[in-house]
């Protein structure tokens, strides 16, 4: 992948840095993709900077986080780039479903094995291989990276941090789908994209990956106590128990009164970026 395939779609000044949107043809997903990037002022001065990769949740594009979380002020102060992919393959030719929690906008960060999904829904490889190569090649990054995400994206962040060895210096999540093999969203997505082989599901399930002995970088999780998905979908208490049993370096915080929305993310994103900056130094 080269910069020749990368088109700058928009760029606006933000906290002395730039909020950008790019488009490229993805070989992994067999479609044209857009992604967003925030470059802090340090990067515009040609310093190479560390980055936080952000994975969004169900129904999101690459623009929900950049327009709603209010992360740019702190990213500018800390000198961190933000890399914000889309949540699924896109385009007319891409298979879809009418539901909000399957198909476009709901790629679940897996490599689909089932038809009609397998041709385009290869989000795990797209992000961990292709997109990271593209941004490393095109942007002033220093190679140090952490990962974070929300809900479906929190699941993706945990799974990538657990599977990609030392690629990420730290990992954080807001209300992650922590144990997708055991919740309705996960049953539907994994059954559809991966089929009935539950061994394969385990490769995309944070709780199962921790139980299998995978190493985890330092971890911060925030979970809203008034989140309407908490009881049925997120398995926060299973994650708490697993993290404790396997002695991970982790803070899991229940934030009373907060729901599942971007108001919750906006309330704690500063903590998360400060947390990542600690591990991205040096």
- Nearest-approach distance from CB 58 to ligand LAXINWYW, in angstroms: 4
Is 247 among the residues known to form the active site? no
Least distance between ligand LAXINWYW and beta carbon 41 (Å):
27
- Closest approach of Cβ 52 to ligand LAXINWYW, in Å? 17
- Does residue 267 carry a catalytic annotation? no
Catalytic option among 24, 155, 260, 276: 260
Q: In the structure encoding, which two tokens stand for residue 126, read together?
A: 């797209």
Taking the C-alpha atoms of residue 81 and residue 221, their distance in angstroms, rounded to an integer, is 21
CB 174 to ligand LAXINWYW: min, Å = 9
The 3-state DSSP class for residue 269 equals: helix
Closer to ligand LAXINWYW by CB, 60 or 280: give it.
Answer: 60
- Would you call 227 a catalytic residue per the annotation? yes
Q: Which is nearer to ligand LAXINWYW, 20 or 150 (CB)?
A: 150
Q: Which is nearer to ligand LAXINWYW, 62 or 208 (CB)?
A: 62
N-terminal to C-terminal alpha carbon distance within the chain: 28
Q: Which of 151, 179, 205, 276 is catalytic?
A: 151
- Within the chain, residue ranges assigned H as helices are 41-44, 63-68, 72-78, 123-125, 132-138, 152-163, 184-194, 198-202, 206-211, 236-245, 262-280
Interface residue list for ligand LAXINWYW (CB under 6 A): 57-60, 64, 68, 100, 150-152, 260-262
Burial 81-104, CB ≥16 within 10 A → b, else e: bbbbbbbbbbeeebebeeeebbbb
CA distance 11 to 190: 36
Smaller CB distance to ligand LAXINWYW: residue 57 or 186?
A: 57
Between 42 and 62, name the residue whose CB sits nearer to ligand LAXINWYW. Answer: 62
Measured at the CA of 64, the angle between CA 228 and CA 167, to 5 degrees, comes to 95
Backbone phi, psi, residue 205, to 5°: -130, 115
Nearer to ligand LAXINWYW, 60 or 250 (CB): 60
107 Cβ partners below 8 Å, 6+ apart?
A: 87, 88, 89, 121, 123
H helix intervals, 195-248: 198-202, 206-211, 236-245
Active site residue ranges:
151, 227, 260
């Amino acid at each position: 992948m080269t910069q020749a395939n990368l088109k700058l779609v928009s760029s606006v000044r933000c906290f002395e840095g730039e909020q950008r949107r790019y488009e490229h043809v993805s070989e992994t997903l067999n479609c044209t993709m857009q992604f967003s990037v925030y470059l802090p002022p340090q990067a515009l001065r040609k310093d190479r900077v560390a980055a936080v990769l952000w994975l969004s949740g169900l129904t999101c594009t690459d623009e929900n986080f950049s327009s709603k979380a209010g992360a740019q002020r702190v990213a500018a102060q800390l000198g961190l780039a933000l890399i914000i992919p889309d949540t699924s393959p896109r385009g007319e030719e891409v298979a879809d479903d009418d539901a909000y929690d399957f198909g476009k906008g709901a790629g679940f960060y897996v490599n689909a094995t089932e038809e009609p999904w397998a041709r385009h829904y290869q989000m795990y490889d797209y992000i961990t291989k292709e997109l990271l190569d593209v941004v490393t090649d095109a942007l002033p990054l220093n190679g140090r990276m952490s990962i974070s995400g929300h809900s479906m994206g929190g699941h993706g962040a945990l799974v990538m941090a657990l599977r990609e060895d030392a690629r990420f210096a730290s990992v954080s999540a807001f209300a992650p789908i922590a144990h997708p093999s055991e919740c309705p969203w996960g049953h539907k997505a994994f059954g559809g994209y991966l089929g009935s082989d539950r061994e394969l599901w385990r490769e995309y399930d944070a709780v199962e990956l921790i139980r299998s002995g995978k190493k985890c970088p330092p971890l911060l999780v925030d979970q809203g106590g008034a989140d309407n998905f908490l009881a049925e979908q997120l398995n926060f208490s299973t994650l708490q128990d697993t993290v404790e049993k396997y002695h991970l370096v982790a803070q899991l915080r229940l934030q009373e009164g907060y729901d599942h929305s971007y108001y919750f993310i906006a309330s704690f994103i500063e903590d998360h970026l400060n947390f990542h900056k600690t591990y991205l130094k040096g």
